[in-house]
Amino acid sequence: MSGEEEGCWSTVGRDEAQKAQILNIGTGCEMFGITSHELAHALGLFHEQSRYDRSNYVQIIKSRIAQKNFYDFAVVGMKNMDTYGQKYDIGSVMHYRPTEFSIDGGNTIVAKDISMQNTMGQFRGPSFLDVAKINRHYDCSTNCKNTIKCVNGGYQHPRNCNVCVCPPGYGGKDCTGIESSNPVKCNGILNAGEIQRKFTINMKPKSFVNGVRKCNYHIKAPAGKRIVVIVDSVIGNCVQGCYEEGVELKMYDDKTVTGARFCCKLQKPQTLISQGNTVPVMVVAGKAQAFVQLRYSYVDHPQNRSPKDGNVTSTNLNPLILEKYLDDSVDSEAIRQEFLIPTEDVNQEDFETLVRREFMDDNSIDI
């Protein structure tokens, strides 16, 4: 590892022609998310948007990319890349930011599910699937002589074989529970009904915190129902990838992929609908404020409706934004102004330090 040259870069995987793996962390590359990105390259991970199935999830806007940078958006074929059966993860630390290599500041990458656009380009650190993929690649599971049951996409801990490594939002012995929170009381189950229910989380600014603050909830609906979530207003740190103060909602059935994130000021309420009957809601904050107000209810799953019901079908439920449920009577900015607590700017390094400490202390991170 070196910092003698300019830029942040590494070769992908082992280069047998070299006597040593070269990984350069130049000036400006010190953030944990950047260093872990380059280290993951060295361990064998390509950029996420280089996957051969990317066109199912994102669109590349070539008109905003200089021809000399087309190569940076090249697709790696199936013969040279193994995804290990894992879904495309827009929240991977290996995914480009939405404006990467833009010639005019506009988006060069657009998520086909528009609710996922703000999830793209996070620098917090490796996602759950980033770590899981490397564990699979290096056969870390062979460390365990016994097998245990892990659900919701969790897997057996390679160095503590009686414990599961669970996707964010999940916890417990077999990943059926809710991830623990900090503070502990900011945690629980929200039971959805046919009538909308309002829920607010307001993590106020603090001058001192002993770790990343987290609130974890699961919105639950009866079997055969889908959950409609309307995000009325958000207060957070508006950065690409929403990896600092903000909220994440896991609307897909596959809970291993990073969910839809919100951290920027909303012009109007955003409405999403789940694929299944459980939606993990995760709000994170360092020292700065994180706030979200949302409403939730359930609707029938399309498979449980007769054709004459209309309105809700498998087709118009994807992407997961539903114009049908938008409520123009709610003023997102008025809610934001009501709860916003003016504070001095919080240095990004404050959150960076908390995140680095969290990863270093987390025994579930095994690469």
The residues carrying an active-site annotation are: 38
Q: Positive or negative, the Cα torsion across 159, 161, 163, 167? A: positive
DSSP string of 211-278, one letter each residue? S-EEEEEEEE--TTEEEEEEEEEEES---TT--SSEEEE--SS-TTS--EEE-SPPSS-EEEE-SSSE
- According to DSSP, the residues that pair with 109 across neighbouring strands are 60
Assigned token pair, 70: 């087309």
Run of H or E residues at 188? strand 187-191
37 assigned binding-site residue: yes
d(CA 152, CA 139): 20
Residues 6+ apart with CB under 8 A from 290: 201, 203, 213, 235, 236, 245, 246, 247, 283, 284
DSSP string of 60-128, one letter each residue? E-GGGB-GGGGGGGPPPPTTT---TTPPP-TT-TTSPPTTTTBSSSS-SEEESSGGGGGGTT--S---H
Supply φ then ψ for residue 266, to 5 degrees. -90, 140
What's the length of the chain?
367
Contact predicate 297/245, CB 8 Å: no
95 assigned binding-site residue: no
Region of 216 (left: φ > 0; alpha: ψ -120 to 50; beta: rest) is: beta
The CA distances from residue 287 to 171, 213, 236, 327, 355, in Å, are 25, 8, 11, 32, 12
Residues 6+ apart with CB under 8 A from 19: none
Binding-site residues from annotation: 37, 41, 47
Binding-site residues from annotation for Zn(2+): 37, 41, 47
